[in-house]
Structure 1
């Protein structure tokens, strides 16, 4: 199906945990995934590629951090992160299911809930869907424009609007994840020392974080899983070992760089993990704590159906 006429599947009503593929999921924050939201303060950075992060009150209570995601065109997901797959996925919807930043974050947060290890990252409570009025109000708050900005019912959707909505996103609401609000305090050395152990544990739970630069940490805990892969994930099993090893090296190197930054700027008492430094200095092949080894089927209510999906329906069939 040509991408010019491709439409993403509508979200189910009433809401269900997302994404709708085998593997971990994140449930809605409220039964209907809607809420009264008061946007209090912008918490992100202007250069954030995937989302807007705000301090909010929800239904008059809070405070929370709300991460509202931009839309991503399926072609960019297929040609970007999905471009290294040795076998193409069955259709564009599947690329969105596994590579869209919102879905990536839902899967990682869902795995931490399954394993009761939400201590490894800033806690996620569930997702919300913004109303057209909420998404327009937020866009106005950011841009300062008073005119009505393009939203779900606009006449032409070509990505050149605040939420980057294309025609394939028509009718779909902006998705957001409600997270614990973590104060922006100076990191103490004890918090810093746990980051490497936490990352190794995340790997053991089948989560490849991908993006571990310092800006994705608060209080020594990860706040961003929008570029993560969580088993089962096709990239874990359909990317060449050398490519996957290179991606793992990049992830570890970003964390090592952050350790050196903290040591130089915060405290000389911060100890650089020797094994992390060794892996980043030519010994990455010895790193054995690989996320793809995680036994993900143990969480599936129908393990046979989940296995059949990833083995028989997930990938494009070879031409006869």
Structure 2
């Protein structure tokens, strides 16, 4: 049985997936998890809808990153940044392992994010299948990564494509507050990181203990700003969404015996096509 990861630093760890990963069937490439990055930036991962032993999951497969690509600017305090800690806290795969490791440990992954079933390493056979079926060859490997297996995390597949489905923003914000109280700061709160009201991407998450919350590196004000980032970004997201929803509302002219009522443009299109 593979050990929980990351192994060599203190803090939460994610257990290995217990299913038969070799039986995986790749059904659909859902896309990179960080779709707002520019073309010059390397996506953290690719996400697939898969079946494993007959059950549907989301499989998030991570790219490789060198220490230089993930090392933060410490402004004269670089000597405090140990390579081992940088690797296992800031590499997107390990960042997500730590966040979901704590959520699973507290049995709150399904409540505050999406249910996580553990990490897996993909064999060379599975990597060749990805190349054959999807044309994916580049996983940003460096010389130091040659021979390393692809790393992935298995999660529940979220069928809802909308931002919040039936969840209210008030409920979503409360869950984010609870997440922060656990010591997990997502650091990427935006519309594209929610499906059906659930957070699903934690590849740049800060999970305590973490370099970004270390007083030897950062001022109290800087650390406080990091901790307040999630809720501030959430409130900004809600304002954007509500402004967009309001701009899309139109007034349908009343039919005989009816009053006019506000609807969205998509609802208007459906109503007109139905002859209402």
- What TM-score range do you get, normalising by the shorter chain? 0.7 to 0.9
Partner of 2:49: helix, strand, or coil?
strand
Partner of 1:137: helix, strand, or coil?
helix
1:34 Cα deviation (Å)? 4.3
Structure-2-length-normalised TM-score:
0.76
1:124 Cα deviation (Å)? 0.8
Q: Please tell me whether the aligned partners of residues 29 and 47 of structure 2 are also in contact (alpha carbons under 8 angstroms).
A: yes
The root-mean-square deviation of aligned C-alpha atoms, in Å, is 2.5
Deviations 1:263-308 (A, max 9, x none): 234579xxxxxxxxxxxxxxxxxxxxxxxxxxxxxxxxxxxxxxxx
Partner of 1:56: 50
Alignment pair present for 1:44 and 2:31? yes
Higher strand share: 2
Partner of 1:176: helix, strand, or coil?
strand
- Tell me, which stretches of 5 or more residues in structure 2 are unaligned? 36-42, 248-276
Runs ≥4 residues deviating over 6 A: none
Q: Please tell me whether the aligned partners of residues 86 and 239 of structure 1 are also in contact (alpha carbons under 8 angstroms).
A: no
Partner of 1:141: helix, strand, or coil?
helix
Q: Distance in 2 between matches of 1:87 and 1:142?
A: 40
Q: Distance in 1 between matches of 2:185 and 2:107?
A: 18
Structure-1-length-normalised TM-score:
0.66
Q: Distance in 2 between matches of 1:129 and 1:71?
A: 13
Alignment pair present for 1:171 and 2:147? yes
Partner of 2:197: 220
Partner of 2:70: 77
- Tell me, which stretches of 5 or more residues in structure 1 are unaligned? 1-13, 150-161, 269-320
Q: Distance in 2 between matches of 1:90 and 1:105?
A: 20
Partner of 2:204: helix, strand, or coil?
coil
Structure with max Cα Rg: 2
Q: Distance in 1 between matches of 2:165 and 2:81?
A: 47
| Larger RCO (CA under 8 A, 6+ residues apart) | 1
Partner of 2:31: helix, strand, or coil?
coil
Number of aligned residue pairs:
235
Mapping 1:4-153, distance limit 5 Å: 14-20=1-7, 21-30=9-18, 34-45=21-32, 48=35, 49-58=43-52, 60-78=53-71, 80=72, 83=74, 86=77, 88-89=79-80, 91-118=82-109, 119-143=111-135, 149=137
Residue from 180, 192, 203 that aligns with 1:203: 180
